[in-house]
Amino acid sequence: MTMAKSKVGFNITGKAPSPLGAYSHAVRAGNLLFVAGQGARNPDTGEEEGVTTDQSGKITSYDIEVQTEAVIKNLRVVLEEAGLKMENLVDVSVFLCDMKDFAKYNQVYTKHFSFQDPPARTTVQVAGLPGKNFIEMKATAVYPD
């Protein structure tokens, strides 16, 4: 197996939320783009969308549909900055904190991925996600020949 001779990292300043650690928004290796997990954080405010907290900052409720829209928006921004579209996605991994949110998240997801030949998708429940996220998506896209 031959590894790609070079890779290029993409950090999108101002249009996507800043990374919370030592990682790139996406990395291109050959004709593939690997997009890091995107949460629902608003790039302008730095706060996760769709979350209600009390005066002490404790989460009192969240709206998975609002969070899903924010995640997809962040994913789209990263793809567009790398010169791709949603239609270039070949695989999406979705992490939910509660599988009871599947139907609502899936309804929002379907609106954005209703094009011909949508990507493969895996959805799993996780014990927790960084920040005030209840959903996260990571993805792989392919550059056209």
pLDDT digits (tens, 9 = 90+) for 55-96: 999 999 999 999 999 999 999 999 999 999 999 999 999 999
Count of domains forming the chain: 1
The reply to whether 2 falls in a domain is no
Q: Residue 108 is encoded by which pair of tokens? A: 């929002």
Q: What is the pLDDT of residue 71?
A: 98
C-alpha triplet 63, 112, 52: angle, nearest 5°: 15
Give the Cα separation of 64 and 134 in Å (integer). Answer: 7
Q: What is the pLDDT of residues 3-46, one digit of tens each?
A: 444 677 877 766 888 888 888 999 999 999 999 999 999 999 99
Q: What is the pLDDT of residue 91?
A: 98
pTM of the model: 0.93
What mean pLDDT is reported for the chain? 92
CB 97 within 8 A of CB 48: no
The reply to whether 111 falls in a domain is yes
C-alpha triplet 141, 115, 108: angle, nearest 5°: 90
What is the CATH classification number for the domain harbouring 36? 3.30.1330.40
